[in-house]
Chains A and B, each alone.
Chain A
Amino acid sequence: MKMRTPLAWFNLTHKRQRLLTALAGVSFAVVLMFIFKGFENALYDSQVQLLKALNGDIVMVNRIKTSMFVPEKFARRRLYQAEAFEGVDAAYPLYTTTADWKNPDTKKIRPLRVLAFNLNDPVLPIPEILAKRSALQMPRTAIVDSKSRSEVGSLAIGTVTEVAKQAVRLVGTFSLGTDFTSGNGNVVMSDQNFIRYFSNLGPDDDERNLNTVDIGLLKVAPGADVGTLVQTLTQRLPIDILIYSKEDFVNKELNYWKENTNIGFIFSLLTVMSFLVGVIIVYQILYTDVAEHWAEYATLKAMGYSNFFLLKVVIQQAVFMGLLGFLPGFLISFGLYRVTADATGLLMQMTPPRVFNTLVATVIMCLISGAIAVRKVQSTDPAEVFGT
C-alpha cells in the first residue's frame, strides 16, 4: 500500500530557518513547563525523601502528629504490642529531635534535625550509614548529611564540634537532603548517644528518653497483607496512635504541604502561563505558514479536497512540531535540572511519568494552536483564487 504524500511533513521541514525557529519556540515552552513543574515537584519531593528512605511497611505515629512538623511522640510499648500481632516481623523505633549545631568553622549555632535509632535495626538503610555502624557505636559520635546547608560547616571525618552544647565527633557523611522540618540539615546517631545528649538537658528544654518514639516502623512478614494488617492494628491498638501503610503515610505528608502552602498554586499558575506562551508561539508559526500558502490550500479545495482533509494537514503539522520540539526541550531541561540541583540542593527529579505528562501537555499545546490556525484554511474560499 502506497503512502499519501506527507504534505504536513514537507510543509514543516521545507524551510530550515522557519523549522528551527518553530522548534526553538516549542522547546522554550517545554523548558519553561519542565522548570516550573520541576521546582514544584522538588519542593514536594524533598518533604518526603526521608520518609521514603525509611525501612518499614507500616508506619505508626502519635494521633496528633499531622505532619513531620509536629513534634509529638507516642509510647514505645505500642510498638511491642504491634510486634505481637501475627504478620508483623519486627518493629523499630525512630527518635527525632531538633538540636543546636555549632558550625566548626564560624562557631555559629544552627538548628539541625537529629535522627537516632538502634544501630542493629535497619531503620535507615543508606550504605554510608551502614558502613559506619561500628564507628557510630562509640560514645558521642555522629554522621552528618552531606546535603545539609553550607551553614552547617565543614564535615570532614574527625571534626569535633558541638551538638546541644556537648562535644561530638564526626565519623563521616551520608547523602539525604533537607526539607521544611529539617532545619539546616540532618545528623544521624545511635539511640545510646541520643540519650547521652538529650536525657539530661536544662529545665527549659524538652528532655528525651527511649520510652517515647517519634516514628515507629513495622516490618511485615512475607505474604502478609499490609492493608488488612493496618486495619487490624488500628482496631485493636489504643486510639492514641495512627497507623498507616508507608505509601499512605508519604501521601499524607505530601497532602499536608499541598493543602497548607501556596506552592501548588504558584507553580501551577507559572506552568499554565508557560503553556499559554507555547500556544501563542506555535499559533504564530502555524498561522504564518497557512497564510503564506492560502492560494495552494484553496487550490486543493478547488481540486475536491474537503475541509476535513486540510484540517488534518494543519493538525499533523502541529503535532509534528510538538513532538520534534519536545526532544530538545527535554534534553535542555534535563541539563538544567542537574545544574539547579547542584546549585540549590533541591531534589529535581525527572521521572518517566513527569516526562510523559509534559509530552502530553506539549502535544495538547500544539493541537490548540493548530485548531486556531486551521480556521484560516477552513474559511479560504477557492473561488477567490480566480482573478488574483
Chain B
Amino acid sequence: MSHSSNDLSNHLSNDLSNNSADQIAVSVRHLDYYYGQGDLRKQVLYDINLELPKGQIVIMTGPSGSGKTTLLTLIGALRFLQEGSLNVLGQELVGLSKSALVEVRRNIGFIFQGHNLFDSLTASQNVEMAVEVLDDWGNKRQRAIEMLSQVGLAERVDYKPKALSGGQKQRVAIARALVNQPSLILADEPTAALDKQSGRDVVTLMQTLAKDQGCTILMVTHDNRILDVADRIVNLVDGHLESDQNFTTFSQTHDPKALV
C-alpha cells in the first residue's frame, strides 16, 4: 500500500517539475519574418508569440496570404531565420546553419496537401524511404508494414500509388510522416484534395496516432469541417496572431464562412 502511494507522489512531482521547458514542443517569441531584400523587402510576420505544448493538436487558420504557410515552414526548419526566437524540440533555430537545419527536420513529420509519393515506389517503399533517413534502418520493411497497418492499409503495402485512391494515398503519406515517431507533425491542408468522408477519416487517424505517440500536431487548414479535432485554434490575419482559442470559443466568435 505504502509502495503504490509512493509511486503516485513520485509521478506527480515528476509531472510538476517537467511542466515548464520540457513540456513545450515549439516556442515562438517575438518572431518577425520578411520576404525579399532592399526596397522590395516586405514583412509577412509581425511579432508572433506562440507556444505549443507537447501532445496538443493545434489548427492554424486565416485568410490566404496571412502568413500561415510561412510560419509553418519556419517551424519546420525549412527556412533560414535571423530575428526573434524560435525553439523547436529544444533546439534554437535562429542562426542555425543549413546542415543543422536538415538534422532538426529529421525529428519532424511533414504532411502536404499533395501526397508527394514517388509513383515508381510501392506504398511500403515510400514509407521505407523515410526510415532510411535514420542511421538504423535495418528493419525498415517491418516498420513500414506496421505503420501502414496502423493507417488501415495492411492489404495495400505492395501497391503503387496509381492503384490507390486519394484517401489511401494521403494515408500512405501520413504513415510516411509518422513512421519515425516524430515529436512534431506539421501538416499543410492535408484534407484539401479529399472528399468529406476521406478527409474526416484522415484527420481522425492523425488524431488517434498522435495521441498514441504523444506527438504535437500543427495543422494549417481552411477546412472548417475538421476544426473540432483541435485542442486549440490559432487565427492568423495579415501576419498578426489575431486569436488563440479552443474550438468552442472559436466557433462562437468566428463566422465559419469568414475562414475561407
Show the binding face of A for B, using Cβ within 8 Å: 1-2, 4-5, 7, 10-11, 13-14, 293, 295-296, 298-306, 381-383, 385-388
Interface status of B239 (Cβ within 8 A of chain A): no
* Known A5-B121, A5-B132; contact A303-B105, beta-carbon cutoff 8 A: yes
Least distance between B88 CB and chain A CB atoms (Å): 13
A387 CA / B133 CA spacing, docked (Å)? 24
Whether the Cβ atoms of A302 and B105 lie closer than 8 Å is yes
Q: Which among A2, A5, A14, A302 is the interface contact of B129 at CB below 8 angstroms?
A: A5
A385 CA / B76 CA spacing, docked (Å)? 12
Residues on A with beta carbons closer than 8 Å to the beta carbon of B129: 5, 7, 300, 303
Whether the Cβ atoms of A10 and B120 lie closer than 8 Å is yes
B interface residues, tally (CB under 8 Å): 34
Interface status of B54 (Cβ within 8 A of chain A): no
Whether the Cβ atoms of A2 and B138 lie closer than 8 Å is yes
Whether the Cβ atoms of A11 and B118 lie closer than 8 Å is yes
Interface status of B10 (Cβ within 8 A of chain A): no
Q: Which residue of A lies closest to B188 (CB)?
A: A386
Interface status of B96 (Cβ within 8 A of chain A): no
Whether the Cβ atoms of A299 and B78 lie closer than 8 Å is no
Q: Which among B113, B128, B133 is the interface contact of A304 at CB below 8 angstroms?
A: B133
Residues on A with beta carbons closer than 8 Å to the beta carbon of B114: 295, 385, 388
A355 CA / B125 CA spacing, docked (Å)? 37
Whether the Cβ atoms of A296 and B117 lie closer than 8 Å is yes
Count chain B CB atoms within 10 A of each CB in A383, A386, A387 and give the residue with the most. A386
Whether the Cβ atoms of A302 and B118 lie closer than 8 Å is no
Interface status of B224 (Cβ within 8 A of chain A): no
Whether the Cβ atoms of B73 and A304 lie closer than 8 Å is no
A299 CA / B112 CA spacing, docked (Å)? 9
A385 CA / B112 CA spacing, docked (Å)? 7
Least distance between B103 CB and chain A CB atoms (Å): 7
A306 CA / B101 CA spacing, docked (Å)? 11
Interface status of B82 (Cβ within 8 A of chain A): no
Which residues of chain B (127-166) have a CB below 8 Å from chain A? 128-130, 132-133, 137-138, 140-141
Whether the Cβ atoms of B188 and A303 lie closer than 8 Å is no
